[in-house]
Structure formats: C-alpha cells, structure tokens
C-alpha cells in the first residue's frame, strides 16, 4: 500500500512574512529541508497580487502533509499571511496524520496568544475586517501548539537542525511494505478492521491475529495497519518479536517503541521492569497504532504492551501469534483466526509466482493448490520453485513434495512444534499421523490409554497454538501441511526403516513391516487407514513389545491369523472410514490367497476365539458397527478392560454374562443395538458410564448385583421405549441421568440415600407417561429437562427449594403442569416454560433474583395471568408471546434490562401496559397483536440505539409512541395500529439504516414527520385513510427503495418529488384524492416491475417515465385520466400485464412496443376511440385480450395474436368489423361478441359446411343468442356433425330460455366438451343425453331455479354446482349423493337444501371448524358441510391446522356468499395431503397422534367426515383425543 506521504505533492508548506525572514531564517530553513530530500513549498513571489490568497496557493496547502508557520515580528500585520495561516489551520488541524509546526522567531508565544506588542497593534489595524474574530481565534490556537521558540540566543543553524529533525520524524513513511502480489485479503481485512472498531476514540482495543506459520498473519496485519495508520498520532511496527527477543532481549524491544513512538533514542533502560514503567508513562497520552509481529511468549507481550491502559484513548494494538493462550493471558479478547486462501485466489497466487500463464500448466497448478490447501507460504515457495521448469519437472517436484515436504515449509511450521513440551509433542504426532478427522471424544478416549487424564490439557495446548482445531461438529482437524509436518517428523525417526518409527499409518510401510517382519519395540501405534492385503506368517507383532494401539479403519485381508498380539496392547479398534469422517464400521476377516476381496464373508473373523485370549493390558475394546455380530462371546480374558463399546450392531441379540464381571470396566456402551432384549446382571464396581440408548427391544433395565453402582457418573437410557420400570439403585456418584424418550416409563426410579447429591444433568424429556418425580436433593444440578412430559402433574419437590447451581431448566410443553414450587435459582441462565398451557402462576423465585438468567421463554402459557417482580440484570431473551391471559408485564427491579437483546410480547391480548424499562442493548422488540395495549413502554432516555427490529402490528388500541433514538433500526412495523394518531418522533429524524417501514392500516394517522431514510427498501403506507401528506424525506432521497405501497390512502392529495432509481414496485391504488402522480427525478424508474394506479379517481395525468423493466401496469378505474403516460421511446418491452379498465376519459394510447405482453384489458374505456398502435402489430405473446364495453371504439388495426387464449369484444357498439388477424390463432378457445354489431361472425360460425375452417376453437360463449344458436343447430342438424364440434371443450350459456328439446339435441353434438356452464337458464330437465359427454368433468347449473331432474350423470363428472337450484327433487339429490359416485375421490359437489349422507362416518352439529386426530400420513377423507353460505367465489379459503401449523387447501372451489338468504346448501368435497399449499410433513409428529382442525372460514349447521378406506387405514384416525381415551370407538354423531 502507498505511504501516507504519497497522498501529498509536498511534505512541508512554509508560511512566513517575506520582508522579515525570506532572505534569512526562512531561506536557510528551506535549504536545510531540501538538503534532506524534504519536498518543500515556499512561495518565492515577492510581489503578491492583491490581498486575496491565490487558488494556486490554496492548492499547495491542500497538497502538503504539514506546515511550518514562521511567526515573526510583522507576520500578523499582513492580511495575506493571516488568510494563509487561517486556511492552514482549517485544512490540517482536523485531518489526522497532518501537522502544524509553529516557529516563534524572535517573538514571545505569549504575545501571539494574548495579542500583545506587534501582534496587538497588527490586529487593531485589521479591526474592520470580517475575518477579525476568526484570525484572533486562530492565533490563540496556534500559540498553544507545541513548537519551536527562537530567542536569538543561539546559533540559527543548530536551531534549524532541530526543526529539520522533527520534520523528518513527522513525515516518515507511515505505511509499510507488504508484498508484491496480494490476493484474498479484502474480506479478512474488513473483519479485522471491524474488530478494531476504528472511529471509537473513547476506547482502546487490542486485537490478536491468530494462525499457523506461513498462513499470512503478518501480511494481513500489515494490510490492516496501512489502511488505518493515517488516523493515529503515532505508530510503530515491531517485526519478528520472537526472533528479536531471542537475539537481543526484551529491553531492545522496549527501546524500539520509545524511539519510534516517542522519539527518545538515547534513553537508558537497566531492566525490563524499568522499561515497562517508562513506556506506561510515555504512552498514556498518545493515540498509538502498534503492530507486534510474531509474539510467542507471554513475557514479550508484558514487556511491550502489558495492557490496554498503557496507551492513550483511541489507541489500537495488533498482535500476530500462533498461540491463543498467550492472547488470553494478555487480556486480548478480540481474536481473528486467519483463513487459508480460496482455491481461485490460491491459483492466482501460484500462477503469478511461477510466471505460468500457459494454459498447459493448469493441471500442475491445480495440483499445487490442492497440496497447499490455501497456505500462502507453500504456494509462494512452490510457485517460485516451478519458475522456468517444464511440466514434467514440475510434476516430479510435486511427487517429491508429497513424500517429503519442502524444507522451508517444514521449518516454518515446525517452529510451533518445537515450542511444545515433550508429551505435548507425542500427542500432536499421534493426532497428525493417525487421528485427523476423528471425533474429539473418541480421540480423548484412545489417548487416555496412553497418557491418562493429562492428555486433555495437551490437546488444549495444541488448539491454542493453532496446530489443531476442533470443528463445530466436534471433529479434530488440522491443516494438510501441518499434518505433513508431523508425519515428516516421525519419518525422520528412521528415514529408511519404517519398523523403527513410533507410528505407522502408510499402507506401504505397514505391509513392508508385517511381511518382512521388521517391526521393533519403537512402534507404539499402527493405524490401518485403507484396505490392504497382507501376505505374512502371522509372527510380526511378536517384536512390537510396546505396541499400545492397533486400529483398523478399513477391511484388512490377512493370509493367516496373527499368531501373537503383544501384552502391551491397550486399544484395539475396528472401524470403517466413510467419505468424510471415521465412522465405526468394520468387518475384520481372514482371507485365503485365492479368495476375492469383494466376497470375503467365507471366513469372517472369529471374535469368540480371538477374545478368549488373554490381553492383560487391553484397556479399550470397540466393536462398533459390526453388522454381522450376533453375540458377544466370553471376554473374561480381558481383566483390565476399562472401556467396552458396542454401537450400531443391528444383529446383536446375545451378550455373554462375563461382560457383567469386568471389575475394572469404567465405560459400557450398548447403543443402537435394536435387537437386544436383555442385558446380563452387572457387577461392575468401577463402572462410571452406562449407556443403553436406542435399544428399542430392551424390555427391562439390567439387574445390578447388590443394586450398587458406587462409581457410576453417567447413566443414559435414551429411547428405550419398552422399559416401564427402573429398579431401585444406589447411585451416590451419579452426575448425568438421561431417560429421554422412554415413552413407556411410568415411574421415576426409586430414590435411595445419596441419590442426586452429585447430579449435574437430569433429563426425562418426552417421558410422556411419567406423572410425578419424587422429592430430590439437587444441590449441584446444572441442567434439568422436563420438556414434553405430557402427563407430569407436579414439579419435583426439591429439598429446601435449592437449585443454586442450576443453569438450564426446561419445562416446555408440560401441558398438565399447573404450578412450580418456590425455588432458589441464583445461577440459572435459561428457563423455558413455553406451552405449559395449564400453568397458572409463575414459579416464585427466592428474592426474585435471577441475576444470571439470559433466556426466559414463557410462550403460549395461556392461563398465566401475572409474573412476580424479578431481577434480570443479565437477561438477553424474553419471550412472553401468546400468553393470552397475561394482564401485566413483569415488574423488573430498577427497570433494568440493559443486556436484553430480544423481547417478544406477541399476542398478549389482555396486556394493557408495560412499565418503564432500560433497554440499551435491545435488538428485537415484538409487540404484535397486543390488542389491549394502550401505550408504548417508556424507554429510559428514549434510547433504543441498537434496536434492529420493532414490530407493533395489530396493536389496535395503541395511540402514541414516545420519542425514540433508533439509529440501528432496520425493520419497523406499525401495521393495523388503528388508533395510532401520530408517528413516533425519531431523534434527529434519523432512520438511516431502516430497510422496511410498514404503516399499513393506521386509520387515524394523519401525518409522518420528516425522516432520513437512506437505506429504506420497503415502505408500505396502505390503508392509512386519514393520511393527508406523504412523509417528507430528507433530500427526497429514497435511492435504495424497492417497494412503495400507498394503497387506499383516501385523503392523500400529493407526493413530493422523489429519487427512486431502484424502485421495483409502486402501488398507488385507491388513492381517491390523489391529483398528481409523484414527480420522479429524471423520470427514471428503470428498475420498476409493477406499477399499480388502480382507482385513483382524481388522477388526470402521469408525467413521462422511463419504464424499461416494467412487467405490470394497472391504471384501472382512473376515471379522470385523460392521457396514457408517455413512455420514453414507447418502450415497454418487458411488460406482461396492462390493465386500463374503466378509464372513462381516456381517448387514446400512444404507440407502444409490447413485445412481451401477455394480458391486455381495455374494458369499459368508454371514450377510447382507437386501439393502441403496436409496433409492427406484434402481440405474439398475448394470451388475454379484453376490449369489452369500449363503446366508442370503431376499429382495431391488424394484429398478430398467435398465442391468444381469451378474446372479448362484447358491447363494442361502434365496432362493425372484426380485426384483421395476421397469421393463425391456434390457441384461442373462443371469442366473446355479446352485443357487438359485427356483421360477419368470425370462426367457428362462418362457413360451417367446411370443417377445415373450424380451427381449434373450443369456447362458445354467446349469451342472449343461445336461442338462435339452438335453432341453428336443429335446422342444420345434418350439416353439423361430431367432427365439426369435436374441438369444442368449453360451453357457457347463461340467462336463456332453453327448451328441453333444444338442450337435448344440442348436447349430443358436443360429445367432447369438458366444461359446461348453463347458469341462470330456464329448463326443467337435464336430459340423459348428457351421459354422451364422456369427457365432461365440470357441470355448473347455478341459478337454474326451474330445474327438477338431472337424468344422467356423465362418467367423468368430478365437479357439480347446483347452487340455488331450489326446485331440484329429493330423489335427484339422493342420486347425486350416492356413496359409490364419491368413493373414488376428487369430487366437489354443491347441492341445495340437502342433508349429510348417512354413509359419512362422523357427523357434527353447528360450528366453525371440525377436528380429528390421525397418525402417520394425512388421511384421504371426504368432507361435507351444510351452510347458508356457498363455495363459489374467492372470499374464504378452507384451511387445516395441523399441530398448530396452518395449511391452505388449494384444490377445488373456494368459499363465498352467493346464495339466497332463505336457503342453505350442502358442500361435499375431498381433502388430500397433496393439495395443500405447503409440505405438511414438517408438521407431522413421528409415531404420534396429530391433531387436525379443518376451518371452513364460515359457520355451518352440520358437518361430516367420511374416511376413504381404500386409501386410509381406519385405525389411524380418531374423532376424539386418543391421549384422553385410548379405547375410543368410531360412531356416528358427536
């Protein structure tokens, strides 16, 4: 990065009085500066033009890094000098990194400060000047600066030397050389910069940059340093602290700081302690930027940057290190761990370094990138090495590096290894060679057999020194090059003979050692990491006297069984490595030479024979995922076994009794062994952990000899769903008890003396039959989980109510729990009482003290009315949502919730007020649906500076919100606050980070104050009926706004000019009084996709606009709109929908380019005289064209309508000719020409004798002409045959007098019709000939009031609507409700005045919804409802609520209100899971009953459910709660 000095053309600007010092002092000073290479500006023009400072001089000041002001005797007498002087101060004093250096030349500084002597006289001379006061202030200011005073009592050249020395210190390059080619740093630099919190000058921050050697810590630190250094008073970079400290000592480092920051080069320091005191004293008043590179010892940090209070306010210290512990010990809390380069950045770096732009080298460079794994040093070293090499040479070098790492890389990485203690080195080598990617818990268990408990400390050291990492999923990981470094260290133990190395992992080395029998006592670990085949004599293990761990991570084929295994063996593990991490799946087998590996099962490993051998030192035995293992043999030959793990052995059924008599066994796990029915008696005095989780077939808890487990710390019996009882146990040492999901457990295990004394974790989650827990002593308990214990009626009685160590208490979904006794919860951090629907009172907390509580969840406690006073100083999350009965907000001691980040009070319908609160840290506040809340809580100081989300929607009674400071607010929702009269006053009107502002349906809101909304993306003011003016936006700038909705603001008359460059949606619909379209800056709406101006009745015109991206334009019901908006270039090339319905005064539409238009509706434009001229007449993509009721329209130009599907020209009374159509119209199903006087009908009715003219028209809709059509049909019966009418798919005939004879004959002609609409027609019988319509699936007979009979039912009929067919006979309705007709499914029938059919399984009386319970998948059912309302329209939607989750039914009709008041209708329809709007699976409970409630959206008189037995099992549906009555029997009625 360029130095700060590179920003300026000059280093120094000299301001002086020419007649005083030009040819003397100032001239000598200029010469001295020039001699030192300082770029100096000095105005040599003696004759200054006028009294005004020239532009060139102003530019020179701006281009100078610092200024020297030579204040001589007559300096102030020149107004020119004073202007120049004032400009220097204005320009430089506020710019960090620039300096002003006053030189008092034979002038006393007090004369300048107090305006005495020549300076007093000079200012009196200027008293009439407008700048007089400013000059006085400037002189006073500069007199207080630290500078140089020359009294004339010393040599001037010596004085000048001191000035030059200071100048050189000030202008030294502050930026540092980083590197030649930097990639992939920007994001990381931003992250570190954010940790430094630059700009906050009242604090001091120390930031650590952590990472392995060569990963780029120093490069990143230098980049950050260079980007911010100009903002500091002084700066210092101490490089290679480790190296310099080792060579020169800590005092040397302290002197560097004094020299670089303070300028003291000769300070004598006799000890490190003295240096610390001097640094503290010198640095406390300075704003310092300090970079310490490669710190590796705590004493280094203490010597040069002991703590943040050494430095002045605003200082920042950056430390690079490989050791996280060092940073923690030094009090550094902000730490960033450097990430490796991404592949694309790594490819760029190695390509640049190798100078390989040749595409043929791409594969080589990709190999380098893969090998280096984002490590910059490795990339640079290898890239440099590849320069001027051929592809073959590069490949050879890569092969060599993969075997033996490059020396420079190895040395750099090994520095961290060399700093480890001896045993820490061993643990690192174990992990690097054998355990990369393994679960940490498993690694700890194996290494415990080697090193004991201390190994955990060793692992922590490795993590802190960045040698290994623990992933979020709990796996041990390390960089590939660090792994290679460790393996190379082991290889160097014996480069030529692998049998003399401590660890073997390479299949090649293992095969060599076993087959050549070259093993030695040096070998401690062998890890078979991949499949190998070993041809040996079985004797190789005999020499490995110190072999401690033998691991098989894949199948291994031995030509013969091993003859010996050493007694030193402590861990024998058989695993199988999957694609990501080691799992636990191994099939150890012996294979003859002639047996194919793919079929090894002829000789599986004989565990029985193997385990009967004596392994005196074996500590760990894991048989995890041995899929073929059916029984555990006698293992009494393993007397020192400490851990025995058997997981996911699906076929295991039998366990030998010897397992129960391993006296030293500490860990016993039988997990996911689904066929085990029993475990033998246990007499395990040393047992510390017993885990029987997910043994689903286990019928009883194992018998304990003497019932005593004195050492047992962990007992897990998770999901043992058949266990009903746990016997009495003596468990004095128990620390963890987990009985989660034991769904048949009826009683808590009997409590003996001492039980619970040491218990830290207890979970009975989802023990749904557990009714009570006996009194317990739980002094040390940290976690208690009682969630989803549906039958639990009382909270366990705790002795003395003392839960003083408890941190987590989960009682959610205990639906029968009514109360919790008083408790002492001093350390509680999380309390969850959510969904305790019966809970009537909040637990009484001793002293109300919950001072450590961070999370309090009381969601959906419907019966909870109040919460007692509490002290919640540490609370971060409070959720009171859906506490419907809660009448008052909990009283908080001192009103202090200073750490609260999330406050949710949603749907507390009875809550009327919230007391004053201090909410400095609040980020989310949700008051939505608090319908009774009358006032917004008073916030101390109105400060909500960190609040990001504020939701107050549907607070119907909320009238006002006090002034607030909302600098960080991003989402603000005041929707449906009907009583809100004024928008909250925001401090400074600043909402600069707000992205979403919703003020929908604030009916009483009249105005919104001026606001600054630079980041706003969504603004919704819809339905603010009384809003009279649009909010005044500072600068009219809404440059990031994407959505603006002002729908139904009935009193809004105007919108001020706005800048809306990114706007995508603008909705001004129903703004009845809006007279002018908002003026948009430059008319640019280039990103707008949707523009809705519907029902703006007073809008007369819209200004010219650029609408290049517009997809939908709706101008419907703009009655006074006289002209269509002028579009720039007439281009609407992306417009898909154009709606101009009922624009009564619109006479014309200008020429437009409508290449993408799909829907055009000009209906009811009564004054429209001409159809819009379309460029080229192309409407190729148009599917819908409606020109209905354009009564003045006389002609339509030629059009190309290739894809048109709907064409309506009805009621165009002036239109006499059908438009000329270019090309074909193959998709149009019909043309609507009602009342339009076109003399010649279009197809398909002209020239009926020629079938080829019929095209693919299939939609006949000619209201009031049906009698003529019917007559035509009969008269031409011989001419109109099935072929001519076969294309007709949809017939709609309404409001006609149809005779039964006409109807019968007409139907026979349209055998392929699919939809038949005969609404409001006068006929009495629908003839049997309708059965000939074999494709008819939808039949609409609404309002056919004279219809008596439907004689035939079409075979494919699925939808029948006979609403208001009040004459329909009972026998006809019975025929239409026949069970056989509906059993196949998917029917949807609406019939008048009918009853629920008897074949419906379950019937209910009046209500709004109907409930049932089901398990597994959602059942296939038929629903029937009798109601005055009809299912015809779009006002209501059927919805189903499954376990509290709502889904809308999207298939078939929707609910409306079209029937007569004096009638009622039956609605029968099918409901299937696949027709819901969302995936229902996510709401279903596994192997549980699911509660379903179907809401029709309207009241009904009767309802019924019929289960389709062919598609659903009747056993899986109930009509009353199965948990209340498990023996419920289906019966009709409720």
Catalytic residues, which ones?
Answer: 84
> Which of 798, 874, 781, 906 is closest to 843 using CA atoms?
798
Question: Measuring CA to CA, how many Å separate 1006 from each of 191, 957, 989?
Answer: 44, 16, 18
Strand, coil or helix: 1164:
coil
Order of strands across the sheet that contains 1489-1500: 1445-1448, 1439-1442, 1489-1500, 1407-1415, 1517-1518
> φ, ψ for residue 1421 (rounded to 5)?
-135, 160
Does residue 1434 contact residue 1458 with C-beta atoms inside 8 Å?
no
Does residue 1377 contact residue 1389 with C-beta atoms inside 8 Å?
yes
Would strands 1315-1317 and 1338-1340 be described as parallel, antiparallel, or unpaired?
A: parallel
Does residue 198 contact residue 316 with C-beta atoms inside 8 Å?
yes
Q: Give one DSSP letter per residue of 225-280, joined into a string.
A: HHHHGGGSSEEEEE--HHHHHHHH-HHHHHHHHIIIII--SS----SHHHHHHHHH
> Which of 784, 878, 876 is closest to 834 using CA atoms?
878
Q: Give one DSSP letter per residue of 1016-1084, joined into a string.
A: --EEE-TT-TT--SPPPBGGGB-TT--EEE-TT-TT------BB-TT--EEE-TT-TT--SPPPBGGGB
Question: Measuring CA to CA, how many Å separate 1017 from each of 891, 923, 995, 998, 1225?
Answer: 37, 19, 5, 11, 43
Copy the structure tokens of residue 1306. Answer: 């007409």
> Which of 1268, 1319, 1276 is closest to 1458 using CA atoms?
1319
Cα separation, 1179 vs 1222, in Å, equals 10
Instruction: Find all residues with CB under 8 Å of 850, minimum gap 6, and list them.
Output: 825, 828, 831, 856, 870, 871, 872, 875
Cis ω before 718 (30° cut-off from 0): no
> φ, ψ for residue 55 (rounded to 5)?
-60, -35
Copy the structure tokens of residue 633. Answer: 């043999």
Cα separation, 58 vs 924, in Å, equals 50
**Locus of tokens 């009283």:** 891
The torsion of the CA quartet 1003, 1009, 1015, 1020, rounded to 10 degrees, works out to 10
Q: Where are the beta strands (DSSP E) in 586-738?
A: 589-590, 620-622, 631-632, 643-647, 654-655, 667-671, 689-691, 714-716, 736-738
Quick one: which H or E segment has residue 448?
helix 440-451
Measure the CA angle with vertex 1320, ends 1316 and 1321; round to 5°: 75
- Other CB atoms closer than 10 Å to residue 1464's CB: what's the count? 17
Phi/psi class of residue 934: alpha, beta or left (left: φ > 0; alpha: ψ in -120 to 50)? Answer: alpha
Cα separation, 648 vs 645, in Å, equals 10
Strand, coil or helix: 388:
coil
By CB atoms closer than 10 A (0-12, 13-18, 19+), residue 960 is: middle
> Which of 1405, 1403, 1382, 1407 is closest to 1470 using CA atoms?
1382
> Which of 15, 148, 145 is closest to 88 using CA atoms?
15
User: If DSSP states are collapsed to H, E and C, what string results for 452-504?
Assistant: HHHHHHHHHHHHHCCCCEECCCCEEECCHHHHHHHHHHHHCCCCCCHHHCCEE
């Amino acid at each position: 990065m360029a130095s700060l000095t590179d920003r300026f053309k000059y280093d120094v600007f000299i301001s002086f009085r020419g007649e005083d010092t030009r040819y003397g002092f100032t001239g000598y000073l200029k010469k001295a500066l020039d001699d030192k290479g300082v770029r100096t500006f000095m105005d040599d023009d003696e004759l200054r033009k006028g009294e005004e400072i020239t532009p060139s001089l102003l530019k020179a000041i701006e281009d100078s890094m610092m200024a020297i002001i030579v204040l001589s005797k007559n300096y102030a007498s020149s107004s020119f000098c004073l202007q120049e002087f004032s400009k220097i101060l204005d320009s430089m004093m506020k710019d960090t990194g620039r300096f002003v250096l006053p030189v008092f030349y034979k002038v006393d500084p007090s004369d300048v400060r107090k305006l005495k002597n020549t300076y007093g006289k000079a200012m009196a001379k200027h008293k009439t000047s407008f700048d007089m006061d400013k000059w006085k202030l400037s002189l006073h200011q500069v007199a207080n600066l630290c500078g140089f005073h020359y009294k004339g009592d010393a040599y001037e050249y010596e004085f000048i030397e001191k000035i030059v020395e200071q100048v050189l210190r000030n202008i030294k390059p502050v930026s540092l050389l980083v590197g030649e080619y930097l990639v992939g740093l920007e994001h990381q630099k931003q992250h570190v910069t954010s940790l430094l919190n630059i700009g906050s000058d009242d604090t001091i921050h120390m930031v650590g940059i952590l990472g392995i050697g060569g990963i780029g810590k120093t490069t990143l630190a230098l980049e950050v340093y260079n980007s911010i250094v100009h903002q500091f008073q002084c700066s210092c970079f101490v490089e290679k602290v480790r190296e310099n400290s080792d060579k020169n000592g800590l005092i040397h480092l302290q002197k560097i700081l004094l020299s670089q920051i303070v300028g003291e080069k000769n300070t004598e320091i006799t000890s490190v302690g003295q240096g610390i005191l001097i640094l503290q004293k010198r640095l406390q008043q300075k704003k310092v930027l300090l970079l310490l590179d490669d710190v590796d010892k705590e004493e280094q940090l203490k010597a040069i940057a002991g703590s943040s209070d050494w430095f002045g306010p605003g200082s920042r210290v950056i430390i690079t290190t490989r050791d996280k512990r060092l940073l923690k010990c030094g009090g550094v809390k902000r730490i960033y761990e450097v990430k490796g380069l991404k592949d694309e950045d790594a490819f760029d770096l190695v390509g640049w370094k190798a100078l390989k732009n040749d595409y043929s080298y791409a594969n080589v460079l990709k190999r380098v990138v893969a090998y280096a794994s984002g490590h910059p040093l490795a990339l640079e070293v290898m890239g440099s090495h590849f320069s001027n090499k051929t592809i073959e040479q590069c490949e050879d070098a890569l092969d060599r590096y993969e075997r033996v790492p490059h020396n420079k890389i190895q040395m750099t990485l090994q520095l961290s290894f060399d700093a480890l203690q001896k045993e820490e080195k061993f643990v690192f080598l174990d992990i690097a060679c054998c355990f990369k990617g393994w679960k940490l818990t498993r690694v700890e268990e194996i290494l415990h057999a080697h090193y004991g408990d201390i190994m955990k400390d060793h692992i922590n050291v490795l993590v802190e020194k960045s040698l290994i990492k623990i992933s979020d999923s709990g796996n041990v990981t390390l960089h590939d090059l660090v792994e290679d470094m460790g393996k190379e260290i082991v290889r160097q133990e014996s480069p030529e003979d692998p049998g003399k190395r401590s660890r073997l992992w390479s299949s090649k080395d293992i095969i060599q050692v076993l087959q050549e029998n070259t093993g030695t006592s040096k070998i401690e670990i062998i890890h078979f990491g991949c499949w190998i085949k070993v041809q040996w004599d079985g004797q190789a293990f005999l020499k490995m006297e110190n072999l401690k761990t033998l691991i098989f991570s894949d199948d291994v084929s031995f030509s013969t069984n091993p003859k010996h295994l050493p007694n030193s063996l402590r861990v024998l593990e058989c695993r199988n490595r999957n694609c990501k991490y080691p799992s636990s799946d191994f099939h150890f087998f012996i294979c003859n030479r002639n047996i194919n590996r793919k079929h090894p099962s002829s000789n599986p490993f004989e565990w029985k024979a193997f385990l009967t051998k004596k392994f005196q030192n074996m500590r760990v035995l894991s048989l995890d995922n041995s899929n073929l293992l059916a029984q555990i043999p006698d293992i009494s030959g393993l007397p020192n076994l400490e851990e025995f793990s058997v997981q996911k052995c699906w076929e295991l059924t039998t366990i030998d009794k010897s397992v129960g008599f391993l006296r030293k066994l500490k860990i016993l796990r039988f997990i996911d062994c689904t066929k085990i029915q029993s475990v033998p008696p246990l007499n395990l005095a040393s047992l510390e952990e017993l885990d029987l989780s997910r043994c689903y077939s286990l019928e009883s808890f194992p018998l304990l000899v003497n019932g005593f487990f004195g050492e047992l710390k962990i007992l897990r019996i998770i999901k043992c769903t058949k266990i009903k009882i746990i016997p009495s146990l003596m468990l004095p040492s128990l620390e963890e008890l987990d009985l989660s999901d034991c769904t048949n457990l009826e009683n808590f295990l009997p409590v003996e003396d001492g039980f619970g004394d040491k218990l830290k974790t207890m979970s009975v989650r989802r023990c749904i039959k557990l009714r009570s827990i006996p009194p317990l002593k739980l002094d040390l308990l940290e976690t208690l989980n009682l969630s989803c214990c549906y039958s639990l009626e009382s909270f366990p009685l705790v002795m003395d109510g003392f839960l003083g160590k408890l941190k987590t208490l989960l009682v959610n979904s205990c639906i029968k729990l009514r109360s919790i006794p008083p408790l002492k919860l001093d350390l509680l951090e999380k309390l969850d009482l959510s969904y305790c629907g019966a809970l009537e009172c909040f637990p009484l907390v001793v002293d109300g003290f919950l001072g450590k509580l961070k999370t309090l969840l009381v969601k959906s406690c419907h019966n909870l009315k109040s919460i007692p006073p509490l002290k919640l100083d540490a609370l971060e999350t409070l959720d009171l949502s859906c506490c419907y009965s809660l009448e008052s907000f909990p009283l908080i001691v001192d009103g202090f919730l200073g750490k609260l980040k999330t406050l949710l009070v949603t749907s507390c319908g009875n809550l009327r007020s919230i007391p004053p609160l201090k909410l400095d840290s609040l980020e989310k506040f949700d008051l939505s649906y608090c319908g009774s809340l009358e006032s917004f809580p008073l916030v101390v100081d109105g400060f909500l500076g960190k609040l990001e989300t504020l939701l107050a929607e549907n607070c119907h009674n909320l009238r006002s919100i006090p002034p607030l400071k909302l600098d960080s607010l991003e989402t603000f929702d005041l929707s449906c606050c009907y009583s809100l009269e004024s928008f909250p006053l925001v401090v400074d009107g600043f909402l600069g980070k707000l992205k979403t502002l919703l003020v929908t349906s604030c009916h009483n809101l009249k105005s919104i104050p001026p606001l600054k909304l630079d980041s706003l993306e969504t603004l919704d003011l819809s339905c603010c009926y009384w809003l009279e003016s649009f909010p005044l936006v500072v600068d009219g700038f809404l440059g990031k706004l994407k959505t603006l909705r002002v729908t139904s603001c009935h009193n809004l008359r105007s919108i001020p000019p706005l800048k809306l460059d990114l706007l995508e949606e603008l909705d001004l619909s129903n703004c009845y009084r809006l007279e002018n379209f908002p003026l948009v800056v430059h008319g640019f709406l280039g990103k707008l996709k949707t523009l809705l101006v519907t029902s703006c009745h007073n809008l007369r015109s819209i200004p010219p606009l650029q609408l290049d991206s517009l997809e939908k334009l709706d101008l419907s019901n703009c009655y006074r709109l006289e002209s269509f908006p002028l579009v720039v270039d007439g281009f609407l090339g992306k417009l898909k929908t154009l709606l101009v319905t009922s624009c009564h005064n619109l006479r014309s539409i200008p020429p437009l380019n409508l290449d993408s238009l799909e829907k055009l509706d000009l209906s009811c434009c009564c004054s429209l005289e001409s159809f819009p001229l379309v460029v080229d007449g192309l409407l190729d993509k148009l599917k819908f064209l409606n020109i209905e009721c354009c009564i003045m329209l006389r002609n339509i130009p030629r059009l190309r309508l290739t894809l048109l599907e709907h064409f309506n020209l009805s009621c165009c009374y002036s239109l006499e000719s059908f438009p000329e159509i270019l090309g074909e119209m193959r998709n149009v199903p019909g043309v609507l020409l009602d009342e339009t006087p076109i003399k010649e009908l279009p197809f398909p009715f002209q020239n009926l004798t020629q079938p080829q003219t019929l095209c693919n028209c299939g939609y006949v809709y000619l209201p009031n002409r049906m009698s003529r059509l019917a007559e035509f049909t009969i008269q031409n019966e011989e001419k109109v045959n099935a072929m001519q009418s076969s294309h007709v798919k949809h017939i709609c005939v309404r409001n006609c007098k149809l005779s039964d004879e006409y109807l019968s004959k007409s139907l026979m002609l349209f055998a392929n019709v699919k939809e038949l609409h005969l609404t409001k027609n006068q006929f009495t019988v629908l003839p049997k000939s309708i059965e000939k319509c074999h494709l008819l699936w939808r039949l609409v007979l609404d309002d056919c009031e004279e219809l008596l009979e439907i004689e035939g039912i079409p075979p494919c009929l699925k939808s029948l609507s006979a609403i208001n067919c009040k004459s329909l006979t009972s026998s006809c309705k019975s025929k239409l409700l026949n069970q056989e007709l509906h059993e196949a499914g998917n029917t949807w029938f609406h019939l008048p005045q009918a009853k629920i059919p008897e074949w419906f399984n379950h019937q209910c009386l009046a209500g709004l919804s109907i409930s049932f319970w089901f398990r597994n998948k959602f059942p296939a059912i038929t629903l029937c409802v009798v109601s005055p309302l009809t299912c015809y329209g779009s006002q209501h939607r059927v919805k189903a609520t499954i376990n509290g989750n709502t889904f809308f039914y999207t298939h078939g009709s929707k609910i409306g209100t079209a029937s007569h008041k004096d009638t009622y209708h039956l609605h029968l329809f099918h409901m299937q899971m696949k027709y819901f709007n969302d995936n229902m699976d996510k709401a279903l409970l596994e192997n549980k009953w699911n509660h379903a409630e179907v809401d029709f959206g309207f009241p009904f008189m009767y309802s019924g459910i019929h289960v389709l037995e062919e598609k659903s099992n009747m056993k899986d549906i109930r009509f009353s709660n199965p948990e209340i009555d498990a023996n419920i029997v289906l019966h009709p009625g409720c």
